Structure 1
Amino acid sequence: MKEKAAKKRQRMQVFGLEGELPCVWMKAGVINFKLCDNAYNCLTCAFDKAMSGRLKEGDERLESWRAPYQAKPYGQKECRHMLSASVPFRLCGNAYDCATCEFDQVQETRTLTGETGRPPVRNVAGFWMADQTYYHRRHTWARVEHGGLVRIGVDDFTMRLLGYITQIRLPRLGAHLERNHAGWTFRREDKIAPLVSPMDGVVVARNHAAVESPDRAKRDPYGDGWLLVIEPTHLKRDLQELYTDDAARNWLLAETHRLESLVAVDTELPLAATGGEVIEDIYGNVAHLSWDRLVEEFLRP
């Protein structure tokens, strides 16, 4: 109960955005205090939609946050990508109508398909775990990025468990992923493993490089080995069900102990060295553990 309550209190972590981020309604002086928890993506923000709804209903106590910004001299009209620090300098010349802004569309495309930043990683019981990242209990991860989109992939535990992958099959663009259900599959020769989507959302980008070279997901699971970018449909709700920070570390420690008990009752999971990394191919090196058993225990929905 305490762990679940702590999850609900945690502030959303957005990769690449640090510190307290004032909402544009606050920055415009319309409201006294509100922090942004949607990466300055007003188009998908529930709070912005609610406030805009009140304006449409004729609430005379409010004005749009866009009005004060539009009244500013052009040199003070900061683009939302400048507000969120995703670009060092950019002024808005489109009346803050991001839905029809060509620069916004170009920036989103670059964010989706360009090189991703690599969050800091740490070694937890021989497995690498990325900071600034949310983890599903079935070993997939989610990272909230600029614009409120979410990049997802699989963790180092999964890649060491399966050893190597010969094929990655991802859903098509526009497909809807459902939290806790299979979202894509990994294949190792004739063996198949379904992987769980960590949250609900619509697929807006696929990592074609990882599809063409599946080893990329093993070499760099939290960076260039990402798999999909989705537009989440229940972002806050879904993040509350995922692990992050100390809760994620404790979960991975528990998973490692479960794996050790399956590998051998009286021996430790084989490590490269004390405090080092777990062997690269657990399935290929532990003869008595079948593929189906490993998938059922740790990965399958």
Structure 2
Amino acid sequence: MKTFLTFFLTLPFFLLSLTSFSIAENDQPAEKTGLELFCSPELIDLTTNWAASYESQYPNKKVTISKMTSEMALAEGQLYLTTQAQLSSDALNWQMVIGHDVIVPITSSNNPLLQEIQQQGIHAKSLALLAASELPNWEQVLGSTANAPFTMYLTDNEELLTKIANYTNLDKDAILATKLSSPKELIQTVQENIYSIGFCKLVDLINTDSKTFNEQISILPIDKNRNGRLDQFEDIYQNPEALSRGVWLGKYPRELSGKVYAVASSQPSQQNALEFLNWLNGSGQELLAASGYSPLSSRAKTGNTQILTPLSEPINLSGSTSGLPLGWLLPGTFVIIILAIYRFSRSKRKKLPTIDSEDLGMTPAMNESSIESPAGLFYDKSHTWAFMERDGFVKVGIDDFLQHLTGPLTQVKLKKAGTKVHKGEKILTIIREGKQLEIYTPVSGIIKAQNQSLLDSPTQLNTSPYADGWVYQIEPLNWDREVRLLFRSSTYREWLEDEFTRLKDFLAHAANANSMVFDHLILQDGGEITDQILGDLAPEIWDDFQTKFIDSAR
């Protein structure tokens, strides 16, 4: 053991003597390595900001930017930044998503109806009604007090027209809009025609210097849940960064968002291109929001890393070309020594069982497609369901959405048979390891029976929420009227899209802003949430969920 330690303690001094030669050889300043980027015109400002930040962070790197033209063909070995995934009609390009762009409806800030529009918001059906009307008028969507002609303007851009058609569920030929040649002309026209609206990209509205919106133009807020008012969670229009984050959280219609791509004729292999792509996927994401674009989610960045890593050699952005940088040599040596001594000492002890990383499963994601909603049932905003049986009694229970959030339940508290309840009253308490939620009844009536098997096996609410996990059998008192307030399956699934948006909004606010790990666990993909997310969260989060999510929806 003494000989072993003596060897490792003298090793650093031997290596230090060798580094003097390395210092002499590497004392010359590194030459700058160049990268040429081609970008589409709408990305010039963003690409310029990227290039400046990259060169500032790595002074040995030099980036030159050229503007793409519509006739430009993809050249082998070149890198292109664009909002179009397919640039060549001959073959598929290599592509990687590096950000998201947003299409927004706008009107003049002097529009006399602006305040009313901002209170109500607009949604797909109202836009479809106006866009397809021969004589459109604002009173068609705002009421008789808003008697003013409506005009829609678009830039002559096929991609933009396609997205609006998808959002409004109209054929492109059915959209009666005046097409203008450029975003600049569109914005000017909307300013002059104060009752009109236009559609353009978010980046077209941003003042480059101040990173704020054009003061003469207002973005029309989207009433995503179509309830005739702009709710707090839908208010994401204060500044470009807030809107970009709202898009990332799913608070904005997916049909109106696009993507920013890095494109090449084939998989990039040059080291300078791979280094820049890796940087775009990391530090470069921070510049997107300020320029009117939305950054990638953590899962998307991880996917890009997997795409790039097999293609690239170990990336050395420092500019050194002679192996491991000198600054890491001595610290690395000492790390090796400590590890060697640790491993040697551990080998003398009894080995303990270990867990192979392959044994650790990934927690599945929770999204709209993972929620079951059998046809024939009626669903309530309290995340409960109701079903009238042939004998006239109504069975009720909790929906699949709620059990996906809580994970396996450990206890329930039930009301006694014979209890009279009114719609919206607390009827059930579901508990997981002491943390609990109060659930409200979807119908009024007298409880005739309770599912007593839940007292011994509350997980039936998780494994079979619509069958074995029923909660009560109720004799209804006002079924004909109250059933009209409930959702059928198809409408319930549309409503669920907005519930997922509300859920992500709640989780984003609940997350510790200084904890990247917590944020990653909650919002894996900006559109997908970890299954059973409430399960391991603290009791105070459950309390907040009760008041800010369940109670606020009543």
Corresponding position: 1:291 with 2:291: no
Q: Which moved more, 1:157-166 or 1:129-138?
A: 157-166
TM-score (norm 2): 0.30
Residue identity matched to 1:243: F
Query: What is the one-letter code of the residue matched to 1:209?
Result: S
- Paired position in structure 2 for 1:281: 532
Q: CA deviation at 1:278?
A: 5.8
Aligned-residue offset at 1:183: 1.0
Looking at structure 1, the residues matched to 427 and 536 of structure 2 have their Cα atoms a distance apart, in angstroms, of 28
- How far residue 296 of structure 1 moved from its aligned partner, in angstroms, is 1.9
TM-score (ref. length: structure 1): 0.53
- In the alignment, what sits opposite 2:475? 231
**Equivalent position of 1:208 in the other structure:** 452
The one-letter code of the counterpart of 1:251 is W
Does the CA contact (< 8 Å) of 1:138 and 1:298 recur in 2? no
Partner amino acid, structure 2, of 1:198:
P
| 2:396 equivalent to 1:159 | no
Change (3 A) 1:170 1:287: closer
Counterpart pick for 1:145 among 389, 407, 422: 389
Structure 2: distance between partners of 1:268 and 1:240: 38
Distance 1:194 1:264 in 2: 22
Equivalent of 1:221, from 457, 460, 465? 465
Change (3 A) 1:129 1:278: farther
Structure 1 residue 192: deviation in Å?
Answer: 2.4
Determine which structure has the larger helix proportion and give its number.
2
Q: Distance in 2 between matches of 1:259 and 1:144?
A: 30
Relative to 1, partners in 2 of residues 1:252 and 1:175: Cα closer, same or farther, differing over 3 Å?
Answer: same
Question: Which whole-Å deviations, capped at 9, do the CAs of 1:239-276 have from their partners, x for residues lacking one?
Answer: 011111322111111101111223348979668x9x9x
Q: Which runs of 5+ in 1 are unaligned?
A: 4-122
Cα RMSD after superposing both structures: 3.0
Superposed, 1:233-252 pairs within 5 Å as 233-252=477-496
Looking at structure 2, the residues matched to 263 and 248 of structure 1 have their Cα atoms a distance apart, in angstroms, of: 22
Match of 2:375 among 127, 131, 134: 131
- Percent identity reads 31
Provide the C-alpha distance between the structure 1 equivalents of 2:456 and 2:393, rounded to a whole number of angstroms: 24
- SS of 1:129's equivalent? coil
Q: Distance in 2 between matches of 1:203 and 1:235?
A: 14
The residue type paired with residue 238 of structure 1 is E
Q: Distance in 2 between matches of 1:268 and 1:166?
A: 23
Contact 1:263 1:289 in 2 (8 A): no
Give the drift of 1:211: 1.8
User: What SS is found at the alignment partner of 1:256?
Assistant: helix
Write the distance in 1 (CA, Å) between the matches of 2:522 and 2:375: 24
Bigger Rg, which one? 2
Residue pair 2:432, 2:535 contacting (<8 A) in 1 also: no
Per-residue CA deviation, residues 43-95 of structure 1 (Å, 9 max, x unaligned), is xxxxxxxxxxxxxxxxxxxxxxxxxxxxxxxxxxxxxxxxxxxxxxxxxxxxx
Displacement, 1:237?
0.8
Higher RCO (Cα < 8 Å, 6 or more apart): 1
> Is the CA contact (8 Å cut-off) linking 2:435 and 2:539 kept in structure 1?
no
Q: Please, which runs of 5 or more residues in structure 2 have no aligned partner?
A: 1-124, 126-366, 510-518
Q: Per the alignment, in what secondary structure is the counterpart of residue 187 of structure 1?
A: strand
